[in-house]
Amino acid sequence: MSRLFAKAARLTSKTANNPLPGGCPRLEMNDTVDAVPPPYSEQNRIWDAAGQTLPKHISEAPKLIAIMGPTGTGKSTFISKLATREMKIGHNLSSSLSKAPASNDGGSGTEEVEEVPCKVGDQYVILVDTPGFNDTNRTDTEILTALADWMKSSYHGDMLLSGIIYLHAISDTRMTQSNVQNLRMFRKLCGDDNLKNVILATTKWSVTPLVDAERREKDLTSETGFWRTMMAAGSVVRRFENSAKSAKDLVEEILDMGQTFVPTIQKEVVGGMKLADTQAGAFIEETIALLQKNHDEEKQALLEEFQRAKNEHNRSMQEALQDERQRLDKKMADREEEQRQLHMTTNEALQLRIKRLEEAHVEEEQNAQKFIEFRSRLPKRDKNKVKLGFWHLSWRCQICKKKAELEGHWMCPDCGHVQQNIH
């Protein structure tokens, strides 16, 4: 929490008076960037935040690689194969992004952009865990704001990307609307000129029948496939096989490219553009406008159905339609708020994020207090079985004390003891 507030304060001070502080050159859209090793100050901060120490004398600066893709494709899983600390991995139907700030003590995902230091061979690397768009907990505008802030902060810290690994779950039976939206948004963020620095990696091969997985991979890369245009621009297709070796191979392939680049969104925000004026922001506005049009049509249909139900004196139908109308009105209000946020200045957006972080911190403390009260009501013999996790209960085996996030009647995976957890 304190690190996020400090980062927000640092960004606010940098952008308040000068969009390009520290003597950084103003970037034009067609500028290229030489692969010059940056100073180590910002990298040292990242290593310190992870409780590690970056050696003072290393041959070259750590490389920065972003891991991107829709929610649930395995970004945190990928990074966990190389990270020296435990990553938070989500397995819920809703997004793995929690409403509270990321914590190393538990939880199921990353809310903010998260920098994870690791070492691949002899090279020090920073893997960047990014949130996916079309998320169940946050709007696309909020996610774009987080990415844009990180892009601006990393540029001012003299940290440039060496490459991007974009993940896609091969277990998906088809390219859903969410997948297509994420892919289109990714191209707006990256820029077609930078696609040669991108690896398109498929994940979840181990949980997908091989015949189905190979067919879907062929569909993605065919002449009419969703990835064909990106491949023509220089992107390569690889498989992530859920192992440390596979993750290492993909990272090393990025490192072998031996160059750095500035994504389109980074050029835009460092150059002083408002989010609404960026390519990604304009895409979100188009999406919001289309959704608002659909909402208007749906609302008109609901009004007509409500009038029919009223004429037929069908009170239960009237109540159901009224509830549906209220739900639709709330969605429309949310879209309008999202559009308003898109046109905020940098400082206004940061203040809003700080406010929400404070609210999330209060909610976290309230939940912790509720848990303490719950635990105090447990019989004494059960208090050693449960402790405070992050938004959930963690149980321990009565015999070997193995921690397990299981409920009800379960068998310990280590010693085989069978027990019942009772709230």
Split at pLDDT 50, 70, 90, the class of 306 is confident
Q: What is the pLDDT of residue 379?
A: 65
Which burial class, exposed, middle or buried, applies to 232 when counting CB atoms under 10 A from its CB (0-12, 13-18, 19+)? Answer: exposed
Question: If we measure between CA atoms, which residue out of 164, 185, 152, 195 comes closest to residue 66?
Answer: 164
SS3 letters across 206-250: CCCCHHHHHHHHHHHHCCCCCCHHHHHCCCEEEECCCCHHHHHHH
The residue-averaged pLDDT of 118-137 equals 87
pLDDT for residue 299 is more than 60: yes
Of 48, 51, 46, 90, nearest to 65 by C-alpha is: 46
Of the pLDDT bands very low, low, confident and very high (cuts 50, 70, 90), residue 8 is very low
- C-beta of residue 95 within 8 angstroms of C-beta of residue 73: no
* Structure-token pair, residue 33: 């960037």
Helix or strand (DSSP H, E) at 116: strand 114-120
Q: Which of 176-185, 224-233, 299-308 has the lowest mean pLDDT?
A: 299-308
| 393 three-state secondary structure | strand
Q: How confident is the model at residue 298 (pLDDT cuts 50, 70, 90)?
A: confident
374-394 pLDDT, tens digit each: 767 766 655 555 554 433 445
> Listing from the earlier edge strand, what are the strands of the sheet with 123-129?
114-120, 123-129, 63-68, 161-169, 198-203, 236-239
245-270 pLDDT, tens digit per residue, is: 999 999 999 999 988 999 999 999 99
